[in-house]
């Protein structure tokens, strides 16, 4: 079932949160107030504290120190428009697979991310995949959400974690190359595997929703969204064609979207554009957030794609410099776009919002 809308309270770091939530609600209802949704942040005092506590620290470090850093950074940030202060408790992209039995893989050469070590050698022996509720990292995740909820209440919202579920979960558990072979050679087994993967999503979602007190305070993602929204994705979709996408991935995404309140789909890389028509036709994926990928330029370089998405009835989420979002505003429908940008000062952030009002 779809989540209910929590009561929207002003936050210490975002006293105008009720107004921001009102604009987000209008956006997801297909409406617009006096300008499009614009999420803009700026440092309050000339510079922001550097990030120190990333994935590795959240897995191995002191949880209270991780939360302390999030508080310090939020206090130093000006959240204008529809930008929302939030805490991201994720342990890494493949954390769902880890919660089912995989191990994290770390590299000193890629300190900003991690991977999982595939563990499924035989689907017949491994299925059904299960959330291991006694896993130390799952218990740590629940505790981190509980502790964050207690310490951040009234100051910041808590984001949903990296939801690499559905076929991304299978790819992390089996390994992408072997999964590609399984899709061709053992489709009936993949049917069973996807059923177990789809059963894990609501179990994870509802457990963390409760731990983070989301029904009381709401939730968002990446600091630029509504009090009641999550990012869904399937990066593995770039490795399969439309027929397989329709058979396995799209039904899972629709099911996940039914569980959360509002959805932005993280659409990753040029190879995933093969699914453009199916994503546009999806009844539950409200906003498509296309990530061009390294070497393909920023979103402003892909305006024709964004226009095609909007013409098909979907909204788009784009980002860029203040000048770039102004230029995109001249081309995109204002009721079907949310912008994400940053400025050097709070005054510049406010001026940018005023520009959007004057030019909408």
CB within 8 Å of 253: residues ≥ 6 apart: 166, 232, 234, 265, 282, 284, 285
pLDDT in 10s for each residue of the chain, 360 residues: 444 455 667 899 999 999 998 999 899 999 999 999 999 999 998 888 887 778 999 999 999 999 999 999 999 999 999 999 999 999 999 999 999 999 999 988 887 889 999 999 999 999 999 999 999 999 999 999 999 999 999 999 998 899 999 999 999 999 999 999 999 999 999 999 999 999 999 999 999 999 998 877 666 554 444 446 788 999 999 999 999 999 999 999 999 999 987 899 999 999 999 999 999 999 999 999 999 988 899 999 999 999 999 999 999 999 999 999 999 999 999 999 999 999 999 999 999 999 999 999
Provide the pLDDT for residue 50: 80
Radius of gyration of the chain (CA): 20
**Long-range contacts made by residues 64-70, C-beta under 8 angstroms, separation at least 24?**
64/147, 64/151, 66/144, 67/147, 67/148, 67/151, 67/152, 70/148, 70/152, 70/156
How many CA atoms within 13 Å lie on the side-chain side of 267?
Answer: 30
- What is the full DSSP assignment across 247-275? IIIHHHHHHHHHHSSEEEEEEESGGGGGG
Distance of alpha carbon 119 from alpha carbon 268, whole angstroms: 25
pTM of the model: 0.93
SS3 334: helix
Strand partners, 316: 288, 337
Are 39 and 339 a contacting pair, CB within 8 Å?
yes
SS3 284: coil
Are 328 and 317 a contacting pair, CB within 8 Å?
no
Distance of alpha carbon 92 from alpha carbon 77, whole angstroms: 24
Question: Beta 103-105 vs 157-159: how paired, if at all?
Answer: unpaired
**Can you say how many angstroms the Cα of residue 18 is from the centroid of all Cα atoms in its chain?**
21
Provide the pLDDT for residue 216: 77
Q: What is the CATH number of domain 17-358?
A: 3.20.20.210
Provide the pLDDT for residue 20: 92
Query: Where exactly are the structural domains of the chain?
Result: 17-358
Packing angle of the helix pair 322-329, 346-358 (nearest 10 deg): 10
Q: What is the DSSP letter of 312?
A: T
**Can you say how many angstroms the Cα of residue 80 is from the centroid of all Cα atoms in its chain?**
20
Angle at 105 (CA atoms; ends 297, 293), nearest 5 degrees: 10
């Amino acid at each position: 079932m779809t989540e209910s809308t929590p009561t929207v309270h002003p936050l210490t770091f975002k006293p105008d949160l009720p107004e921001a939530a009102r604009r987000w609600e209008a956006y997801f209802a297909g409406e617009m107030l006096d300008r499009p949704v614009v999420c803009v942040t700026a440092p309050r005092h000339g510079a922001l504290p550097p990030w120190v506590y990333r994935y590795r620290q959240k897995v191995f470090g002191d949880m209270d120190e991780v939360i302390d850093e999030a508080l310090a950074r939020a206090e130093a940030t000006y959240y204008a428009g529809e930008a929302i202060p939030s805490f991201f408790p994720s342990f890494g992209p493949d954390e769902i697979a880890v919660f089912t039995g995989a191990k994290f893989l770390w590299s000193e050469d890629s300190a900003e991310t991690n991977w999982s070590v595939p563990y499924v050698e035989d689907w017949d022996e491994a299925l059904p995949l299960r959330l291991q509720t006694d896993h130390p990292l799952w218990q740590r995740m629940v505790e981190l959400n509980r502790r964050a909820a207690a310490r951040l209440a009234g100051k910041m919202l808590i984001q949903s974690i990296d939801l690499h579920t559905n076929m991304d979960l299978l790819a992390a558990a089996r390994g992408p190359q072997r999964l590609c072979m399984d899709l061709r050679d053992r489709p009936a087994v993949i049917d069973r595997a996807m059923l177990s993967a789809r059963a894990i999503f609501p179990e994870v979602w509802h457990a963390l929703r409760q731990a983070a007190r989301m029904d009381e305070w709401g939730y968002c993602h990446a600091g630029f969204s509504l009090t009641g929204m999550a990012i869904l994705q399937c990066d593995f979709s770039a490795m399969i064609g439309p027929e397989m996408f329709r058979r396995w991935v799209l039904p899972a995404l629709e099911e996940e979207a039914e569980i959360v309140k509002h959805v932005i789909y993280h659409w990753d890389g040029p190879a995933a554009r093969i699914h453009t028509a199916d994503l546009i036709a999806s009844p539950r994926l409200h906003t498509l957030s296309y990530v061009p990928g390294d070497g393909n330029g920023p979103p402003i370089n892909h305006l024709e794609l964004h226009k095609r998405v909007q013409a098909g009835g979907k909204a788009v989420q784009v980002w860029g410099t203040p000048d770039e979002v102004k230029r995109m505003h001249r081309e995109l429908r204002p009721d079907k776009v949310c912008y994400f940008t940053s400025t050097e000062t709070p005054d510049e952030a406010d001026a940018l919002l005023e520009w959007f009002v004057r030019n909408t």
